[in-house]
Amino acid sequence: AQSVTQLGSHVSVSEGALVLLRCNYSSSVPPYLFWYVQYPNQGLQLLLKYTSAATLVKGINGFEAEFKKSETSFHLTKPSAHMSDAAEYFCAVSSYSGNTPLVFGKGTRLSVIA
Amino acid sequence: IAGITQAPTSQILAAGRRMTLRCTQDMRHNAMYWYRQDLGLGLRLIHYSNTAGTTGKGEVPDGYSVSRANTDDFPLTLASAVPSQTSVYFCASSDSASGLSSYNEQFFGPGTRLTVL
């Protein structure tokens, strides 16, 4: 069975500071990994995804994530936080075996302080 | 604009009533999903369908049913609503046929906020 753990239900950073949102996964098969963002009262939209190509994945809005198999991690980072980054972020995992549903973490709410 | 639509946007429902949440996608995706989102619990899969005519149970299927008569529509029915089904419901779709670069990437609708009193 696959699972995702997001460390920290709430992260607060100052505007301009580094954003680091942590995600660790568990999977018995090579995983596909995703980060989604949810702005208030909206659905989820894809930030970036890892599908066994490059281990450093660049996404939208300046976010990137690095797949580290040895650490079973897929942490999300952004060098400089912007007020508009305030949102809920979800890490998700699936396997390379057809249309298997995504397994989501519980989410991390990012607050950006001016 | 292509995407997923959900209806209604929000609904207040008396306990015991029957309710169907509608979901339609125009991307011709073969797979569709229903999730519920609750504070502190993230998104939990209710039911899914890998292709028209087939459905499967997710993590929290009890009290819900789905059907997939065609590619575009995937309604979720609460036969007799209970207060614990108060939640935000998201429909999603994905298409494995479009190639490895989008394998299992899911596209989400805007959600339905349901309150059961």
Asked if the C-beta of B58 comes within 8 angstroms of chain A's C-beta atoms, the answer is yes
Label residue A52 by pLDDT band (50, 70, 90). Answer: confident
Higher confidence at residue A93 or residue A96?
Answer: A93
Q: Examine the pLDDT at A37 and tell me if it is beyond 90.
A: yes
Choosing among B32, B104, B106, which should be mutated to test the A contact, i.e. which has the most A CBs within 10 A?
B104
Asked whether the bond before B8 is cis by omega within 30 degrees of 0, the reply is yes
The alpha-carbon gap from A98 to the nearest alpha carbon of chain B, in Å, equals 7
What is residue A9's predicted lDDT score, i.e. its pLDDT? 93
What is residue B83's predicted lDDT score, i.e. its pLDDT? 97
Could B103 and A96 be called an inter-chain contact, meaning their C-beta atoms sit closer than 8 Å? yes
Of A36, A43, A94, the CB nearest to B104: A94
- Rounded average pLDDT over A83-109: 86
Residues of A with CB under 8 A from a CB of B: 9, 32, 34, 36, 42-46, 49, 51, 90, 94, 96, 98-107
What is residue A102's predicted lDDT score, i.e. its pLDDT? 84
Asked if the C-beta of B88 comes within 8 angstroms of chain A's C-beta atoms, the answer is no
Alpha carbon separation from A3 to A28, A96, B11 (Å, rounded): 10, 15, 32
- Rounded average pLDDT over B59-77: 96
Q: Examine the pLDDT at B97 and tell me if it is beyond 80.
A: no
What is residue A73's predicted lDDT score, i.e. its pLDDT? 95
pLDDT by residue (tens digit) across B12-40? 999 999 999 999 999 999 889 999 999 88
What is residue B102's predicted lDDT score, i.e. its pLDDT? 46
Of A43, A44, A101, the CB nearest to B48: A101
